Structure 1
């Protein structure tokens, strides 16, 4: 059993505290980060090379693509967070300019939110986005053999979901479709989450929590990853990142665990907007190999 699975038996008030990301900062700090996400992303949107590309016909969900050139480029697929119930690709493009300078494209994914749809459906949609880029990426200036993925918080969980085993055949993609990943402040075992305040909208039963937990479904074919978290994280997010890094390495794959100093759960992600931060350098290094 994963260490994280044992947390499911902890008192609700402890789990609420340890996974209360918003409660870990003041309202002013949280609201400032949300404004930064949106304003910096809106600055980038006019520079997108492809906007509102439908990647999944059943759901109608779309991606925006940035930074493509004359020849196919490696791509960083960014999956937003928001505890699976808020934010969108409109808030999530601020790393695109930094990556474009390095010859790297960015694809920002939208997915439907809870409680409108289940977490099973959210995971299916994000995996469909990867399948779409692998099959049609060259039409949009993307090299399908150099797909990298990352996300923050719930987006870190969804990054783990596309790293997990068991879904590739259904999407018609190879098991090594992902060449590198950067989950930030992610959630990798969902049993504790299902016993916290998040259950109010995510509605996970025990089987779904196990099925959708990246920590319980480590890939058979892995890739290098960087597991990052802020030094101002609530304790649950710290434990999740540390344990996922351990499990990935235990499976025989390369993982680097990074604690980002001077950052909290929300503003750590903004380090990807500029090229001189530890986090952005780690991402570029991961993609360029």
Structure 2
């Protein structure tokens, strides 16, 4: 369907802010809430590479080593935001004895999307090595959902592991086929062509970890984000994964993240169930 769109319509279809008038305020709220979380809760900075921006912010519950860990990859089209903007989902988890990790990675144009995917795998392996007995759930929003989906397709034997080091995934408003981005304004710092976009698209990658997965999006999203989510959910099901696929009423591409760990929302409740091993 995207191939039939004019260049102007394609730009709009992959611009989440085109249907989210409050996106600047929401993104500012990410930082404000996360700043409060960093002030209130104890955290540690965990390096997973040699670059200054290859680190994870890890929050552990007061009781110590947790049985469950949510690992979050932030969005921003691989060119914006940081782990410091992504700490607030920890708030509702720590009181339940669940740990939370926000992954930082090098932003484009200083790193390619392929490099960011590799960084995400390194970060996850570092956390899995640190907490080998934890039940790990990976999550991501927008570009972060793409990164989490690529981890589902990663050959973990290349990292010395016999299987994926996580048990479930939560994907919010993701982009799983990167080809439509090639001719848009989004691609300027990414430098993708059709070949490289295809190579790093979950839609064209083998599902290696058929795990329980939530695939969701906001009511106020463009049609392309909704279409991509439906199609990727179908791909996961065909690979044998148990998938919960739904639209979040009243939410858009940005404020859907506030539901991620809110137990009063369907998204938050399902995320917590996955972390506690109550949903399969």
> Given the two structures, how large is their TM-score scaled by the length of structure 1?
0.90
1:14-53 to 2 correspondences below 5 Å: 14-26=9-21, 29-53=22-46
Higher mean Cα deviation, 98-107 or 170-179? 170-179
Q: Where do 1:205-220 residues align within 5 Å?
A: 205-220=193-208
Aligned partner of 1:11 in structure 2 is 6
Cα deviation digits, residues 50-101 of structure 1 (max 9, x gap): 3221112256511111133334421100000011111001110111011122
Indicate the residue corresponding to 2:107 in structure 1.
113
Shift of 1:116: 1.2
The alpha-carbon distance between structure 1 residues 71 and 111, as it changes in their structure 2 partners (threshold 3 A), is closer
* Match among 46, 50, 58 for residue 65 of structure 1: 58
2:229 corresponds to: 241
5+ residue gaps, structure 1: 1-5
Distance 2:41 2:54 in 1: 17
Superposed counterparts of 1:125-274, under 5 Å: 125-137=119-131, 143-144=133-134, 146-166=135-155, 168-272=156-260, 274=262
Q: Given that residues 211 and 241 in structure 2 are in contact (C-alpha distance below 8 angstroms), is that contact kept between their aligned partners in structure 1?
A: yes
Contact 1:231 1:260 in 2 (8 A): yes
Q: How far apart are 1:49 and its partner, in Å?
A: 3.7
Q: SS of the counterpart of 2:100?
A: strand
Distance 1:56 1:9, change over 3 A: farther
- Work out the number of aligned pairs and report it: 276
In the TM superposition, residue 114 of structure 1 has moved relative to its aligned partner by 0.6
